[in-house]
Amino acid sequence: MNSSSGVVDSLDSCVVQEPDAERVAATRDRLVTPDEATRLADLFRLLGDATRARLLYALLEAGELCVCDLADAVEVTDTAVSHALRLLRTAGIVASRRAGRMIYYRLADAHVRMLLDLSREHMREER
């Protein structure tokens, strides 16, 4: 508490209100653009659904599964899986291949695998 004003000082504010212009400029040069930030937020929103997260981890573990196998693995309906996969495919997070009348889904690339692996590792580290 600031004794002269009776106001509680915030722990999240600067004591000195003089930004380091050089550090600020260097940070701005490396910062994501507003468009990239929007796309990143959209990606995390998409990954922020428990069913979609379980589907992705099922694909991470199995490599490739069809809708009915995914539905059984995560214990949700085929309809819910199809809807989730449509969103994930549109976002480029999962890819599919057709084998006759069957469609198999897999993670789109190594970046998605790495994101899931790192997320799980981070989550387990917090416990």
Indicate the residue type of 110. A
Q: What value does the mean pLDDT take over residues 4-27?
A: 73
Nearest-angstrom CA–CA distance, 77 and 87: 16
* Element (DSSP H or E) covering residue 59: helix 50-62
Tell me: pLDDT of 33 over 60.
yes
pLDDT above 60: residue 9: no
Model pTM?
0.77
pLDDT 10s digits, 38-70: 999 999 999 899 999 999 999 999 999 999 999
Q: What is the pLDDT of residues 100-109, one digit of tens each?
A: 999 999 999 9
Model pLDDT, residue 19: 83
